[in-house]
Every structure is written in structure tokens, then in C-alpha cells.
Structure 1
Amino acid sequence: MNDLIDPTDSLERQNEKLLRIASALMHRVEQDTDRSGAAYAQFERAALLEDQVRQRTLDLEHTLALLHDSNAELAIANRETERARRDLADAIEAVNEGFALFSPEGLLVMSNSRFCQPMADVVPALQPGLSFEDYIRRVSRSRFLALPEGETPESWAERRIQRHAENHVMLNVRLIWDRWLQVSEHRTGNGGTVVLQTDVTDIMRLEREERSKLLDRQAQMIRATLDHMNQGVCIFDSQSRLVGWNQKVGPLLAVPITRFRLGASFDLLMDRLGTEKGFEADMSTEALRDWAHRPAGRPPLSFEIRQGSHTTLAAFAQEMPDRGFVISFTDVSAERAAARALHEANDLLEQRVLERTLELEDALAAAERANASKSRFVAAASHDLLQPLSAAKLYVSSLAEGDRPAADLAVLAKAESALVSVEQILDALLDISKLESGRAAFDIAAVRLMDILTPLQHELQPLAAQKGLDLRIVPSAAVVESDASFLRRILQNLIGNAIRYTETGRVLVGARRANGGLRIEVWDTGPGIAEADQDMIFQEFHRLGNRASASEGMGLGLAIVERACARLGHPLGMWSEPGTGTGFFVSLPLSTATGREPHQVPGRSGPRLLQDAGLIVLLVENDLDLRRALSLLMEKWGVSVLDVEDPRTALSLLEEIEITPDALLLDYQLGEGGNGLDLLDAIRARYGALPARVISADRSPALQQGCATRGVELLQKPLNTAALERFLIEAAAQVRG
């Protein structure tokens, strides 16, 4: 082809040659096609190819048109972007502050001409693509940056880069020539950083001027304040040099004013203090000088200085934030003199208190001795009175056993009633004595409430009926924890008082559960008790209105109730309204046990049961009247009595007659001859375990324990004839068995 076409020919000549060549080729093809018989097929293929080329040409033209439009839009967008960039650059440039934008990767995107303008050596490096760390390190090495004291460019840069991690940063950077930049950083929405630099030199200088003025005013105020203080004040800098003082310090320390001048050394003042003042406690001149010359970390210091015999100064030294220190001096001479006077007065007062305490102790000891003597007297008197009282009751009981005229029986009943009243008074006096002295012994056990209330109802029902009162006791199956004898005495006094002071109506006794325990309530329809008198009724020998006669008691009942409840731990309460009535409440803990079996009191058929028993009783009692009364009563019941007055006679009599008694009645206090418990041991050692009872007016815990140890029951004086009958019947039953 290159040989046929000459490049030097003109275009027209070249086109002509090409057309001739194409025509020749086409003719040759047509001839070859005709010869092969496929000319038509080649034509169809050529037509199809021409159609596809035409379609592709159309698509290419459409694509080129779209590309042309896109290029046009892109050009418009580029022009808009460039215009926006120019506008943004113009806007940033118009800002009065230094502005820089860093990408999320920490590379500089753009900045205005004011950014880092005060640091000319940093400006040339502010080109897009500069990393934030390189920017900071270049700033830290700038000769225009005034680093803080003790700070190196490396440490400043590290600290500044660490703060870059915060979302918002604001700091002041000091430059040379007393210039200041305020630098603030803010995060953008895509994680980039905007850095703003504001020249705040004028503001800082103005603030400094204002602060200086303020400090001047404050200094004037401080000076005026110091001069008006009662304390003397000295101010020293970190080098222990005097920088301030007030007018009071000179007269207080008696130091010449010529020593107080700016820059004066602390040692000069110490020399004056060390020679003319006296330090108290653990303070000394050397210790104070060492404290003042410490570079830092001085603890507060407090000490006193004596000047002569009349002046005392209290000093207080404390370090200030700039490592200087302040020492103040206060004249406390009057306070110390007052303290010494007060101390002397206290010593004198303590001496007087000691003397009065000794006097009170002597008086208390005398009172305790008197109280103990009273308690011993009451106990002894009760015992001595109970002996003849028991004899009198037994004599009356023996007289009432036979057939007597009605007039005689009435007299005997009155005599027995009088003896019972005396017995009750003696028991009350003895109980009060025990409760006050703390010698009362309690046997806390499970007690069935009705075992207490039922006998009390039988005992007090006649008294209530005699006054026309309705005594009603509500049955209860409760079992409580208490001392049976003292609980009976408490309830007996409460119910007896209710009957005694109630003229009409009724007395109601019942129990109800409350707060996990049982509350026994005694209600009456009596005159009631005024609120002012409710505390007085629990005092000894006090009876409101003197309604009760002397034979009805001495006003000891409620006193015994109050003291017994306190010792037993049973809360005692009351309610009363004048003209309506009174209620007393005793709270007791409930018991899970079943309670002790009550003693069965024999009826009047008891003596008849003894007539044919042939019972022999050994009675040992050193009181002649009581021994005769007991012997007479038991002989009327058909009992043979061997009565003696002391243990030696008793043992001799048993050996002589060679008879073993069926039962023993032994008094405990037998004089010099011994006591009933020792005699019981001796008799049982010879004759075996015989039925026995110990009789005594002694209610001490030691005696009760001794009887319990030997398994023998104690019969209290005055003797209860029913209890004596019960013992003899039990002994007779053993003999018959």
C-alpha cells in the first residue's frame, strides 16, 4: 500500500488512488463470490454489518452528547467550587483572628494570613499538608514564644499535643515583648479541627492594670485592717525577709521601731525575742528559727511568750501560698490571769467538793447503816411478833373446834379476824423491808393464772358480798412466768384495794393478751383517783381520803405492788377518772409450760380423818406458847404429840421411848441448841426419811434453799392451819399405806 501511494502526492491525488484501489478490490471480491456461489450471502452480511455500525454510531454519538453535557456541568461546578473557595478564603481572610483548618487526619487544609502572624518564623511552614504535630513543634521552637519558667520546648509541645485530644481547647500563649495570644480549638462535624488565634495583648494589659489598681486598693485596705487589729502582725517573704507589719507589733514585742524596715531579716527579730522574751512549752529560739528558714512545707505553729510576770503573748505562725509566712502576736495576759484565777478557784472548789463528798459519804453510810438496822429490826420484830401471833391463832382455832355458844363463836371470829389483820400488817412490813433491801428472792416459774385467781376469789368474795359489791373474775387458761407467791400478793393487794375503796357497783378482774404477753386488769367503780394523787398512792403509809380504817391496813399494799412489779420486771400501769372508777394493769410474759399443780386444801372433814389415824408427831419448838398451842390443836384433831423444846431433848426422848414418830414438825430457830434442818438430818440418819415440815418466820432465800435441798416444805409463821391439816393428812396416808 505504501508503494502505491506516494506520501508526497496531494490529498486529492491520494484519495483518487485509494478509490481506484477500493473499486478494484471490490470487483475482485465480486468475481470470487460469484465463482463460489455465495455472493448473496456476503451481501446480506455486509448489510447487517452496516446496520450494526450505524446503530453503534448513533449510540456513540448519544454518549458523546451526554459526555459533552457532563463536561459542561462539571465545568460549571468547578467554577462554582472555585468561586466558593475564593469566597471562603476571602471570608477567612476578612476575619480579624488567625484561622486554620486541619483535616480529620491532622493535616493543614487552609489558613489565613493572620494565623501565626506574630511568629514570623513559623509562617513559611504553613502550607497545606502540614501536620498538626509539626505545626505545634515549630511553634514551640519559635523565638517569639515566651516559655513558662522551667519549661522546655519539648515539654511544652508534648503538653500542648496532649491537650489536642480534647474536643474543645482554650489557652493563653505568652509571646515576647509582653504580647499574648488566646488559642482555641474546636472539632468540626467530620472530625477536623479549627484553630483560632486571638491577640489579647490589650485585654491582658488592661486586666493587669486593673489588677494592679485592685491590689493597691487591697493593700491599702489590708494596711488599714492590720493597723486596726488588736494583734501584732509581721509578714515575711520566702527568703524570711520582712515585707509588712502593723503598728501594734512594736509595743507588743517592745522592739524598737528602727528594727522594722522592709527587707529586715527574721534573725534580727529572733535575736530580740531570744534575749528578752521567754518561750513557754516546747518552743525555743532555735526551733522557731529552723521553722522560718525551711524552704517550704511549714506546718502551722502556735506558742506563747512570757514577758515579765504579768504579760503573756500568744503567737501563731503560718505559711502563705508564695512560701512566705505570717506571724501574729496577741496579748492574752488577761485571759491567762483569768485562767490562773479560775484554776485556783477550781482547786478550791474541788477541795470543797471533796470535803462535801466525804461528808455526804459519811451521811450516806450512816443512812445505809440506819436502813440496814431498820431492815434487821423489822425482820427481827416480825419474827418475834409472829411467834406469839401464831400461838394466838392456834389457841383461837383450838377453841373454835368444840361446841361453843354462838356468842363465844362470834367473839372468837372477831379475835381471829383481828389476828389475821395483824398478820397481814406484819407480812406487809416484812415484804417492804425485803423489797427495799434487795433481799427478796424470787422463784420464777410457770404459773397457771387461775391457780392464783380462784383462791383469791374464794378469799375475797365474802368481803365483797359484805359490802354489797359484785366481785367478778373472768376465767383464763393462761400460764405466765412469775413468782407465784409475789404474784398472789400483787393481785391480792390490787383486788383488796378495789373492794376496800369501792362503795357501790362492782370489781372486775380479767386478763387479755397484749404485745405478745398477758395483761391482768383490775377495774372498779370506786371514787377514782385525781391525776395529782396518782403518784402518791404508791408511797408507804399513804391512803387517799382516809377511807380505810386502821384495821384494814396501813397503806402498804400499793407500795408492795409497785416494788414487787419493778423487781419482777412486770410493767405496772393505771387509769383513773374521779367519779368513774380506777383500773390497774400488770403485764406478764406468757409461758409455754403447763404450770405447777395447785395444792389441794383439805375441807373441814380433814380433822375427822385424823381421829382414827393414830398419828404420832414429834414437835420441836422452843417457844412455849406456840408449842402448847400447836399441841392443843393437833390433840383435838386426834394426833398424839411428842413436844420438846430443843434438839438434844428430842433425840434423847426418841431413844428413851424407842418409838419412831410418823411425822416431824421442827422449828428452824431453836436457840443455842441448833436449828431444825440440822435436827432433821440427825433424825433421818437414825430413823429414815420421815415426813417432815420446818416451821419458821424466817423468809430468807438461804432457808428456802436449805429446805429445797432436803426435800422438805417450809411452813411460814403465822402457821396456816389448812396447810398444817394437809401435811398431817398426807402423813397419815403414808402410815396407812
Structure 2
Amino acid sequence: MAGSLVNPADSLERQNEKLSIIAAALMGRVEQSTDAAGAAYTQFQRAAVLEQEVRARTRDLERALDLLNESNARLAAANQETEAARSNLANAIETVQEGFALFSPDEEMVMCNSRFGMHMPDIRDRLVPGLRFADYVQLVSRSSHLALPDRETPQQWARRRMDRHKDTSVIFNVRMDSDRWVQVGEHRTPDGGTVILQTDITDIMRLERQERERILDDQALLIRATLEHLKQGVCIFDRMCRLVGWNQRVGELLSIPVGRFNIGNSFRTIFDRFRNEFRFLDETTADLVEDWANGALRSGALSFEVEHVSKRTLAVFMQEMPDNGFVISFTDISAERAAIRAISEANETLERRVMERTLDLEDALSEAERANASKSRFVAAASHDLLQPLSAAKLYIASLESDMLPPQPREIVSKAANALQSVENILAALLDISKLDSGQANVLVSTVSVDVLLSQLRDELGPTASAKGLDLRVLRTGADVLSDATYLRRILQNLISNAIRYTDSGRVLVGARRRKNAIRIEVWDTGPGIAEAEHDRIFGEFQRLNATASAADGMGLGLAIVDRACALLNHPLHLASDVGRGTVFSVEVPIAPRGPVGKPAGGPSRDRPQNRLQHMIVLLIENDDELRNALTLTMEKWGVDVLPCTCQDEAERLLADIDVAPDAIIADYQLEQGRLGIDAISAVTAVHGDIPACIITANRSTGLDQLCDRLGHLLIHKPIDPAALRGFLAASLR
């Protein structure tokens, strides 16, 4: 190599040898050289340096030889330990009672003990190190000592064994010849190798089999005892349709001597007798049962009923078992079927009786409906006929009150007016109840201003509350609701009137609470309260908690009307009360969308106009003489010139004779011969132009309210309130 006299790749001995040769050559040249002393000294100096390097390399070589010798000693010791460990491992494996084999990660056998494969002498000599695992499985599958499962070939067994080899750990049992069993355990080593352990479990399997047989014998005795205690007859057949078990009850039910039942009897032997002495009660046939038993139609359990010639009825149930055998149970249901027949006959008798009673009830119901309709018509007609003279009486008394009477007669007239007002209230309540019960109540849902409605009721009922010393407070709500104005007014009027009537001191508060899509109008009082047991009763007709109250205080119909009207309008009604402290009634009414406010309940304004009515001409069309005279007298006291007529024709003739158009028209809704006051008004206005008109009637139907609103006529219900009549006349002048 360039720049070096010694090749570093050579061994130390070779380098030392070269250096010695070089040193000798240099020394010779020095001795033979004729150069100057300085050159000779230089060569000598070089030789000394080379000698030092040779010595250093020699020492390194000696140290390397020592290390090599030490390593060789250690390697020899390790080999000895390895051989000892291998020998110990082999001895330990050999002492293991199970067969042991180790396969490398490359699926080659590394070692095994002498017990590995001891149950298969025909392949034992071939189980040696270097054998591949797949070849080992093939050898085992073809061993004559391996007892293969039924219908399984060596190739199939080998494939199944290789599938198990894919698992990390697996344990399974293998049956050998001579009724011996080997448990094979296969586990993976950390480096991916495989350890196989083979354990002889023949003794364990035989003990387990003996225990199983003993348990089966005990179970057989238990099953036999159980079968004998069953009320049902039971027969058990194996998959070959051979009798393997039964109880004595089956012989009793099938009328077959117990001696005819023997182990191994075929199903046909028993079924032939069964076929001859029983008949099927449903669509099941003997052929169907036999096909099911033979396995042709076993899609599920089979049940049917049969009847013996002795009239005994049996329920038969056939159920397949897991081993493809089947069990048949026979249950005597003669008593149940007899009971069912008796019940069926009783039902038929009962149905006839029910039909008869139903027809009777239908007749009674029809009679009750006719009576109820007749009652409703009677109440309506009676109310109308009674309201006619009542209106006349009220008008006569109103005319007397306007006259200057002495105090005592004036007091008598006032009491008579109050009595007539009580009669009017009772008749109105009866008429409302009649309409609500008969289903003839018409509902007109519109937008109603709660504030306007409550304001009218405050003005109407305030004097009554003040007379009792009560504080009647009505809070503004600012809400519009969707309801029937007439019925909603009637509901609130009754609730407030009741609160005033039954409260002796304190106050009555009327207000509203907003809910999500509704408001709850509440009437609070400080009265005596209502016990919880009375909450349902007070909504009945003619129910009053204060038994000492007079008829002038009402007949107990107010809350009955409220309850029915709330149900008609679908407005929830609530009651809460604290005995001794007070009561609150509340009605939930849906809030109306933004829009015009509907006409509130309460009729025309009761404000007394200041207009003078003198010489006002009013055409009055009323077929009832007393009411016509009373209306005429009342209006004439106000200075009105009245043109009284009994019918439309008379009114037309009278207006034609005097050739004067009236300032207002007042007509009864129901005139003689089925004619209507609305038609009379239309006939007059057709000739004389648009004239303010008023209809007076006892008819309180919503349909009539709608008709009058559409025609622009004021509607005043009988008995006629003089203030309402006077308000109409004043408005007509305006």
C-alpha cells in the first residue's frame, strides 16, 4: 500500500516478520553504506523506530490471543450448559405423563417425548424431529387407531384439524379405537411455535358415562313417576315411530288395556285402534296424523280433538322432540265441552232475552225521546205563551211606576215588578235548559270583547251587589275571545249572580288570567265556600246549597245552565273552593285572532237616552191583545204616537189610509196564521223606505239572532224590558 511499508490487513505475525526483514535490510545497508556519518545515523534512527513498532504490535497480538483463548473457554462452558439444559429439558419432558411435541415457527417438529402418539403405534416411528405439522395431521388422519365420527372421511377430519390449528389455543377430544379417548391441547409459543399435549382421558370419560347413565336412570324413574301423576295420557315415540314410554292414564282414555303397551310397539299398532274407535271433530284426518308421525308433515306441533264412541271428548297434542322422536298427550275435555255447550245454550237463551229486552228498551227509548221532544216543545210553547202576558204585566207595572203614586201603592207595585222579574228569570232558565237538553241550541262563534261583556254585567249586577254591601270589582283584560256571545254572557251572568247571591259580606272579584292560547275568566267570592263532596251535586238541576232561599233567589238552574253551556261551547269549567273562605269558578275560552270585535252579549244598551220621544210615530204589529195594549200604553206615556195593528195586512191598510211613514216599526216575530213579523217589516219598508225596526219575541235561538243581525233589526226578547224598548226608540230618532 502507498505510504506504508507494512500492509495493515496482514496479521500481527506477518507484520512483525516483515518489519524484522526490513530492519535487517536497513541495518545491512547502514553497515555497507559509504555515505556520511549523518546519513548512517538517520538510517539507524529509522531502524530503532521500526523496532519499537514491532514490539508494540507484538504486545497487541499477545493480548488478542489471550482474549481469544478466554472467549473459547466461555464458549465451551456455554456449550456445556446448553447441552445440560437440553438434557434436563428432554428428561423433564420425558417424565411428563402426557404426550408432548414442539413445533418451530416454520411448522417443523423440534422435539417430542416417547408418549407422543402412543395411542397410534402404526405411525409412532414416523413422529420424529423435522416432521412438518401438515404431514403430522395427515399421518394422524390415516391412522387405523383413530375412530372417525360417522360419515366423516380422513380428508374431512384433516381439514377440520387444520382449521383448528389456526386458533391461538384449542382443546378438543379425539376418540381412539378400543373405546379410548385422548384430549389434545394445542397452544402457541411466544416466538410463534406450537406446543401439543396429548392426555389420556379414557378413565374420566368412562366415569362420566357411568354418571350420565346413572343420572339418566334416575331421570327415567323421575319421568316415569311424573307421567303416572299426570291427568293427561302420554305416549312417547322415538324417531323410528317406536313406543319408548307411556303412562297408565293413556290406556284409560283410549280404552286400551295397559298390557297392550310394550316397548318397541309401532305407532301404527296403537293408531289403528285409535282410528276405529274415535272420530275427528275438526278438519284433521287420520291420514294427516299418520303422515305427521312418519315425518312427512312435521312443520310444527299438531293439535286436534276427537270423540270416543262413549261420547268422551279428547284434546290431542303431538309435539316433535329434539331427537326427531315425538310425544303425544291426550286430555279429557268432556266436562269443558259440556260446559261450553251449556254456556252456548245459555247464551242463545240470553241473547233471545237480550233481544227482547233490547226491543222493549228501544220502544221505551223512542217513547222517552218522543216525551222529551214533546216536553221541549211544550216548554218552548209554554214559555212563549207565558212570556206574552208577562211582558204585558211588566209594561203595565212600568206604566204605573211612572205615575205619581203614594208610597204604599208604589211599594206594592215595586214588589209586583220584582215578582214578575223572578218569574221571567225562571222562565228564561227553563227555556235555556230545554234548548240545551234537546240539542236544539244553535251556536254562533264570533269574536267577543271580554271587557265590553264584563262592563255590561258590572252595570247590570252592580246595584244588586251594592244593595248587599258587597264590593263588585271587574278587572280589565284587553282580550278578545272566540265564543258565542249570548251563551258566554249567560255563563258569566249566572256565575257572577251566584257569587253575589251566596256572599253575605266582602267582595266579588271578576278577572282573567292568560294561558298559552286561551284566557281563564275567573269569578272569586268571599262566601261560605262549597264542600268538596258537594262539587258535583251543585251542577244538577234544582240544586241549591242554601235550602232556606226563596224562589225569588232562583230555582237552582243557574249552574246547570252554566255546565251545559260550557260543554256545548267546549269551554272547560273549573271549580275551587275553601270552606269558610270563598269560592272561585273559572271558564277557559280560546283567544281570538287579531280582527274586529264581535257583538257582545247583553242586548242593547241600557243607558237611558235624553232624547224627547214626543210625537214620534211607531208602527206596532202584535197579535196578542194584552201585550199590544200594554206596549201601546207604555209608549204613549213616553209621548209616542202608536199605530197598533194585529197583522201585516192591517198595518199596510192603516199606513195607506193615513199616508204617513212611521219613524220606527215594532213587530212580533210570530204572528197569526204562521206569518212572521220580519216579512211584515220587509213589506212596509218596501213601500216607505228604510225604517228602523225591532223584533220582539220569546224565541231565543241563535239562528234568529243571526237573521236579525243580517237584516239590521234590533232583537228584544220577551218579557220586554221597558228600558231596552225606550233605548231602541231613542236610537231610531238619532
Length-normalised TM-score, structure 1: 0.89
In the alignment, which residue of structure 1 is the partner of 2:262?
261
Aligned counterparts of 2:712 and 2:32: Cα–Cα separation in 1: 159
Instruction: Please say if residues 610 and 639 of structure 1, whose CA atoms lie closer than 8 Å, have aligned partners that are also in contact.
Output: yes
How far apart, in 1, do the equivalents of 2:674 and 2:272 lie? 95
Matched, 1:384 2:389: no
Partner AA of 2:641 in structure 1: S
Question: For residues 234-262 of structure 1, what are the alpha-carbon distances to aligned partners after superposition, in whole Å with 9 as ceiling and x for unaligned?
Answer: 22221212222222222321235554323
Matches within 5 A, 1:297-312: 297-308=298-309, 310-312=311-313
Query: Against the structure 1 CA distance between its residues 67 and 686, is the aligned structure 2 distance closer, same or farther, given a 3 Å change threshold?
Result: farther
Give the Cα–Cα distance (whole angstroms) in 1 for the partners of residues 546 and 635 of structure 2. Answer: 45
* In the alignment, structure 1 residue 610 sits paired with structure 2 residue 588: no
Q: What is the 5 A alignment of 1:466-545?
A: 466-513=467-514, 517-545=518-546
* SS of equivalent to 2:627: helix
- The 1:679–1:195 alpha-carbon spacing in structure 2 relative to 1, beyond 3 Å, is farther
User: Take 1:197 and 1:334, find their aligned partners in 2: how far apart are those partners?
Assistant: 65
Within a 5 Å distance, the mapping from 1:437-456 to structure 2 comes to: 437-456=438-457
Deviates more, 1:436-445 or 1:515-524: 515-524
SS at match of 1:625: helix
State how far apart, in whole Å, the 1-side matches of 2:195 and 2:220 are.
Answer: 43
Query: What does 1:82-161 correspond to in 2, within 5 Å?
Result: 82-161=83-162
Contact 1:526 1:581 in 2 (8 A): yes
What is the CA deviation profile of residues 641-699 of structure 1, one whole-angstrom value per residue up to 9, with x for unaligned ones?
33322223333444444443333322221131521233344444444443222221112
| Matching of residues 370-449 of structure 1 within 5 Å | 370-449=371-450
Is 1:179 equivalent to 2:183 in the alignment?
no
Identify the residue that residue 360 of structure 1 maps to in structure 2.
Answer: 361
For structure 1, which segment, 172-181 or 33-42, has the greater mean C-alpha deviation from structure 2 after superposition? 33-42
Structure 2 residue aligned with 1:60: 61
More displaced 10-residue stretch of structure 1: 138-147 or 616-625: 616-625
Q: Which moved more, 1:112-121 or 1:35-44?
A: 35-44
With 225-234 and 327-336 compared, the bigger mean Cα shift is at 225-234
Q: Is the 8 A contact 1:677 1:706 kept in 2?
A: no
Structure 2 partner of 1:225: 226
Give the secondary-structure state (helix, strand or coil) at the position aligned to 2:612. helix
2:649 aligned with 1:643:
no
CA offset at residue 565 of structure 1? 2.3
Measured in 2, the distance between the counterparts of 1:256 and 1:171 equals 50
User: Which amino acid in 1 is paired with 2:124?
Assistant: V
Deviation string for 1:179-236 (max 9, x for gaps)?
Answer: 1011112233333332211100011111111211222222222223223322222222
CA drift at 1:94: 0.9
Q: For residue 125 of structure 2, give the secondary structure of its aligned residue in structure 1.
A: helix
- Cα deviation for residue 174 of structure 1 reads 0.5
Does residue 693 of structure 1 match 2:703?
no
Give the SS at the match of 2:182: strand
- Do 1:295 and 1:323's aligned partners in 2 also have CA atoms closer than 8 Å? no
What SS class does the counterpart of residue 195 from structure 2 fall into? strand
- Deviations along 1:273-331, one digit per CA (max 9) or x if unpaired, are 22221112111111111111126844111111111252011111111111111112122
Equivalents in 2 of 1:420, 1:549: separation in Å?
Answer: 14
Judged with a 3 Å threshold, the aligned counterparts in structure 2 of structure 1 residues 131 and 665 are, in CA distance, closer, same or farther, namely farther
3-state SS of the aligned residue for 1:169? Answer: strand
Question: Residue 54 and residue 24 in structure 1: after superposition, are their counterparts in 2 closer, same or farther (change >3 A)?
Answer: closer
Number of the residue aligned with 2:725: 724
3-state SS of 2:487 partner: helix
Alpha-carbon distance change, 22 to 474 in structure 1, aligned in 2, over 3 angstroms: closer
TM-aligned CA distance change 1:723 to 1:190, over 3 Å? farther
1:365-391 superposed Cα distances (whole Å, 9 cap, x missing partner): 222222222111111111111111122
Query: Who is 1:679 aligned against?
Result: 680
Q: 1:115 to 1:678 in 2, by over 3 A?
A: farther
1:26 Cα deviation after fit: 7.6
CA distance in 2, matches of 1:163, 1:309: 64
Which secondary structure state, in structure 1, belongs to the residue aligned with residue 510 of structure 2? strand
Distance 1:24 1:54 in 2: 15
The CA deviation string for residues 443-485 of structure 1, in whole angstroms up to 9 with x for no partner, is 3333333323333333333323333334344444444443333
- Tell me, yes or no, if the aligned pair for 1:707 and 1:713 is still in contact at 8 Å: yes
Describe the SS at the equivalent of 2:236.
Answer: strand
Q: Structure 2: how far apart are the matches of 1:23 and 1:569?
A: 135
Aligned pair count reads: 710
After TM superposition, the structure 1 = structure 2 runs for residues 200-211 of structure 1, keeping only pairs within 5 Å, are 200-211=201-212
Q: Which residue of 1 aligns with 2:632?
A: 631
Letter in 2 for 1:439: Q
| SS of aligned partner of 1:248 | helix
Is the alpha carbon distance of 1:411 and 1:66 closer, same or farther for their aligned partners in structure 2, counting shifts above 3 Å?
same
Give secondary structure in 2 for the equivalent of 1:558.
Answer: helix
Cα distance, 1:101–1:390 mapped onto 2, change above 3 Å: same
Q: Residue deviations 1:62-90, cap 9 Å, x none?
A: 22211221121122112112211211111
> C-alpha separation between the residues in 2 aligned to 1:492 and 1:638?
34
Query: Displacement, 1:359?
Result: 2.2
In 2, the alpha carbon distance for the partners of 1:107 and 1:278 equals 74
Cα distance in structure 1, aligned partners of 2:545 and 2:24: 165
Instruction: Report the AA paired with residue 612 of structure 2.
Output: L
**Residue-by-residue CA offset, 1:321-368 (whole Å, 9 max, x unaligned):** 111111121222112112211221222222222222222222222222
Shift of residue 422, structure 1, vs aligned partner: 1.1
Which residue of the partner structure matches residue 601 of structure 1? 605
Q: Distance in 2 between matches of 1:297 and 1:150?
A: 25
> Residue in 1 aligned with 2:8?
none
Q: Distance in 2 between matches of 1:458 and 1:22?
A: 149
The runs of 5 or more residues in structure 2 that have no matched partner are: 1-20
1:138 deviates by 2.0
Inter-partner Cα distance in structure 1 for 2:473 and 2:495: 14
Aligned to 2:271: 270
Q: Structure 1: how far apart are the matches of 2:189 and 2:388?
A: 114
**Percent identity of equivalent pairs:** 56
Q: Give the letter aligned to residue 202 of structure 2.
A: T
